[in-house]
Amino acid sequence: MTVLLEVDGLVKHFVAARSVFGRPTAYVKAVDGVSFTVEAGKTLALVGESGCGKSTVSRLVLRLIEPDAGNVRFEGRDLGALSANELRAFRRDAQIIFQDPYASLNPRMTVSQILSEPLALHDLVPAPRRRERVEELLRLVGLEPRFASRYPHEFSGGQRQRIAIARALAVEPKLIICDEPVSALDVSIRSQILNLLRDLQDRLGLAYIFVSHDLAVVKHIADRVAVMNLGGIVETADAEALFAAPRHPYSRALLSAIPVPKPQARRGRIVLEGEMPSALNPPSGCRFHTRCPYVIERCRTEIPPLLADGTGHATACHRTAELPSPGAIVPADGGFSPVLEKLVAAFSGGTEGAGRVGVDVSGTRPSAV
């Protein structure tokens, strides 16, 4: 295994309010101590609800914004210590594609111009050979070379995302951050783009950071998953291990909310109890404790560290050791709450007709300010 990217203790707080004298009086703790690694040629998915800090992590990794603390190392080199020239080279190695390809493609440029621009900017291909390279890039993403003279508005959403992928590939990157790359696409098109990304990874040895709130999508693409909640990672594991047995109560809630393909599978809905936390004023201790069915006193005051178990699975929960399987959970206060009972039954497969239990996290989006 070759580690391509190491993120260590990243922190980014945004000023949310200032006094009349301009002094910051409140901060949004968008990213608050995030660490992970990405292996060359592999996919790390960063998942969590909207507002948990995924996009801020992406911008920090690409050095589009400066962290308040922590560092990012790419191929062993600290990005914070790079010279202007080295940073330019890094900007070639690490690319990003966005949710809405239409917004990221210049509507006044033809596909040929869009794809030639990075080739010229980084002086990669001499002008007479650029047309050939553009056609090669289009073929690589499954588009016909004759499309080169067209404008973005002449394409469907899926085709536009292919153009955005081709543009990212033009500079021969080692890492692509895919920020919700299929969320804006029709469901029927999503798997085509996911398959394309996987195919390109196999052929070109690309690493991806795949940012998504959609675990059903992540399941198809990720090698490893990092689950984020309110600016911090609560669990990280190989994708297979996480989907087979999520450990953190928040991961369990997220996973149980994946749509069930079988219409006959009955679903209950559980609304996580507790007040809605905010990144502006996050809860003390474990940031999930206000919504966690397994909360104990310690969770309210002590931030649980992300502890690895030696198998590559790490969890930030004071009760990790007590939650080996959801069927063996010891209630915190001497009795199962109705919520916990349903959750236990669902995860241990105990209750007739329980099928899958959906935990409604939709109403609990952390507010920005």
Ligand X SMILES: Nc1ncnc2c1ncn2[C@@H]1O[C@H](COP(=O)(O)OP(=O)(O)OP(=O)(O)O)[C@@H](O)[C@H]1O
Contact string (CB under 6 A) for ligand X, positions 233-272, x = contact: ----------------------------------------
If one asks whether residue 28 binds ligand X (CB under 6 A), the answer comes out as yes
Pick the binder of ligand X from 55, 95, 112, 159 (CB under 6 A).
Answer: 55
If one asks whether residue 30 binds ligand X (CB under 6 A), the answer comes out as yes
* Interatomic CA distance for residues 341 and 328, integer angstroms: 11
Size of the site for ligand X (CB under 6 A): 14
- Closest approach of ligand X to the CB of residue 48, in Å: 6
If one asks whether residue 368 binds ligand X (CB under 6 A), the answer comes out as yes
What b/e sequence results for 99-119 when a residue is b if at least 16 CB atoms lie within 10 Å of its CB, and e otherwise? Answer: bbbbebbeeeebbbebbbebb
If one asks whether residue 99 binds ligand X (CB under 6 A), the answer comes out as no
List, in sequence order, every beta strand (DSSP E) within 272-361. Answer: 307-308, 314-315, 356-360
Phi, psi of 144 (to 5 degrees): -80, 140
Please identify, among the stretches 51-59, 126-134, 185-193, 333-341, the one whose residues bind ligand X according to the rule CB under 6 A.
Answer: 51-59
DSSP-derived pairing of the beta strands 232-238 and 224-229: antiparallel
Of 203, 205, 130, the C-alpha closest to 170 is 130
If the CB atoms of residues 30 and 323 are measured against ligand X, the closer one turns out to be 30
Pick the binder of ligand X from 51, 249, 285, 358 (CB under 6 A).
Answer: 51
List, in sequence order, every beta strand (DSSP E) within the chain. Answer: 3-18, 24-39, 43-47, 69-74, 77-78, 94-97, 175-179, 207-212, 224-229, 232-238, 267-271, 307-308, 314-315, 356-360
- Closest approach of ligand X to the CB of residue 184, in Å: 12
If one asks whether residue 178 binds ligand X (CB under 6 A), the answer comes out as no
Q: Copy the structure tokens of residue 333.
A: 């206060």
If one asks whether residue 209 binds ligand X (CB under 6 A), the answer comes out as no
If one asks whether residue 182 binds ligand X (CB under 6 A), the answer comes out as no
If the CB atoms of residues 15 and 328 are measured against ligand X, the closer one turns out to be 15
- Closest approach of ligand X to the CB of residue 14, in Å: 3
* Interatomic CA distance for residues 218 and 205, integer angstroms: 19
Pick the binder of ligand X from 56, 95, 116, 320 (CB under 6 A).
Answer: 56
* Interatomic CA distance for residues 99 and 179, integer angstroms: 6
Q: Where on the chain is the footprint of ligand X (CB under 6 A)?
A: 14, 28, 30, 48, 50-56, 213, 279, 368
